[in-house]
Amino acid sequence: YDRWACELPDFGLSRRGALEIALTPDDVPLLRRHFDFQRGQGLNVQWIEGHALHDRWPALAPGIRAGIHAPDDGQVDHRRLLAVLRDTLEAAGVPLHENDALTGWQTHRSGVEAQTAAGGQYEGRALVLCTGVGPLGGMGPAIVPVRGQMLAVEPTAPPLIDAPLRIRNRQYGNAYIVPKADRWILGSTSEEMGYDRRPTAGGLLDILNKCYAALPALYDQAVLEVWAGLRPATASRRPLVDALEGDRVWMFNGLYRHGILLAPYLAAHLADWIATGKRPPALEPFGS
């Protein structure tokens, strides 16, 4: 993303770090284990507790006792990122055919032909299947839709947080508050409910309860948007980046909760694989 930030228009890349907190005193030992694991992986993280925590983030609820600060952490605005990538491809002359579902493909000696629901037929050297949870019948490995409910609220003025806040709680599950330039995103649930994209009262209540318990100032903020999406997951929760049919058809799917995080890294390695015919070692764990 740092390289993209030098080459593309602004897509909301922010390097303000992140804070991960224990919602209750009972959650502190769990958070401490997370901290020890992160330090063991060589990450630049800092354990902060007591007055030092509240002096730095005074908007946190008084009962929060400990947190992990990751000063090098970053985020992007996913909506702006997708718009920038789309505009960049169009400006480069890459043809985009939208709202036309893939229904099948045929491989031949020189490449592959993709067929779509609208009757389109598109020829190419390779076909990369990155269709998310779109049903493809028996074509390719199974992808499980996992619903994630979210909402966006109006930021406080002035903003009380300027970096993502991750909330750890053993009893009720985790949550997060991610400040963007024009909204704060609150999330999220993880529910295997088929292809049902509808938000529910219970799911939104769970999110709001945890986020409000961490940041009481949310109480008066206007709700801007409520939505639910379907994350593409595999049974193992590992991504799938693999060749399905020789060097013609490729799978790039199953990134679950980590699509924005992992997509550029995995896609770069997949592009190398397609171009050179040699599977990069970084993709060895993600075969089907």
Predicted confidence at residue 131, as pLDDT, reads: 85
pLDDT at residue 136 is higher than 70 = no
Predicted confidence at residue 138, as pLDDT, reads: 54
- Give 245's pLDDT tier (boundaries 50, 70, 90): confident
Predicted confidence at residue 165, as pLDDT, reads: 98
Q: Are 124 and 110 in contact (CB under 8 A)?
A: no
Give the mean pLDDT of 151-172.
94
- Give 208's pLDDT tier (boundaries 50, 70, 90): very high
Strand partners, 69: 19, 46
Q: Look at residue 120 and give its three-state secondary structure.
A: coil
- Give 139's pLDDT tier (boundaries 50, 70, 90): low
Give the mean pLDDT of 155-172.
94
Higher-pLDDT residue of 246, 240: 240
| Cis ω before 158 (30° cut-off from 0) | yes
From CA 127, how far away is CA 221, in angstroms rounded?
A: 45
pLDDT at residue 280 is higher than 90 = yes
The 10 Å Cβ neighbour count of residue 141 is 16
- Give 142's pLDDT tier (boundaries 50, 70, 90): confident
Average pLDDT of the chain to the nearest whole number: 93
Predicted confidence at residue 287, as pLDDT, reads: 85
